Structure 1
Amino acid sequence: MKPRFDDDMTMDTIMRQWPGTIRVILGHGLICVGCPIASFHTVSDAAREHRLDEDVLVRDLMMAMK
């Protein structure tokens, strides 16, 4: 069974489950790859911390997950 995106997933989990999201994450200026905080931050946390539009980030991540 394929994993489903969940708001509680960490950035690290997202990148591991869907490697195609790494390009999206980097494209939004996030440096989650290799960051020790990625295993704690959710998408909401990352968007807030980096002053990004969470809805746009989630939309782009979801597109990369397909």
Structure 2
Amino acid sequence: MQATLIPPITPDTILDEMMAAYKATIPLFIHRKMLCIGCPVARLHDVREACHEHGIPLQEFLDELNAAATGP
């Protein structure tokens, strides 16, 4: 049984779990040209690591992810 994630999404949130729980976050990765979707490392990487690898400001991306996860 998969755990249910509840916002807020934090720097330690695992990408694969987050994208599975909050499909609305996926377009944010596409928009920023982050190749995390479907990447085998997404099972291990957290938001902090992905931002570091792609040169994305962490807090800015967290704000976007949480807004997408909580909906309009």
TM-score (norm 2): 0.81
Kindly provide the CA deviation profile for residues 3-57 of structure 1, in whole angstroms up to 9, marking residues without a partner as x: 3134432111110000000001111211111101111110000000111100111
Runs (4+) of structure 1 moved beyond 6 Å?
none
Report the equivalent of 1:59.
63
Task: Count residues in correspondence.
Answer: 65
SS in 2 for 1:20: helix
Runs of at least 5 residues in structure 1 that lack an aligned partner in the other structure? none
Decide whether the 8 Å contact of 2:5 with 2:18 is kept in 1.
Answer: no
Q: Superposed, which structure 2 residues align to 1:1-66 within 5 Å?
A: 3-4=5-6, 5-66=9-70
Counterpart residue type for residue 23 of structure 2 = P
Runs of at least 5 residues in structure 2 that lack an aligned partner in the other structure? none
Counterpart residue type for residue 13 of structure 1 = E
Q: Percentage identity across aligned positions?
A: 26
CA distance in 1, matches of 2:15, 2:5: 14
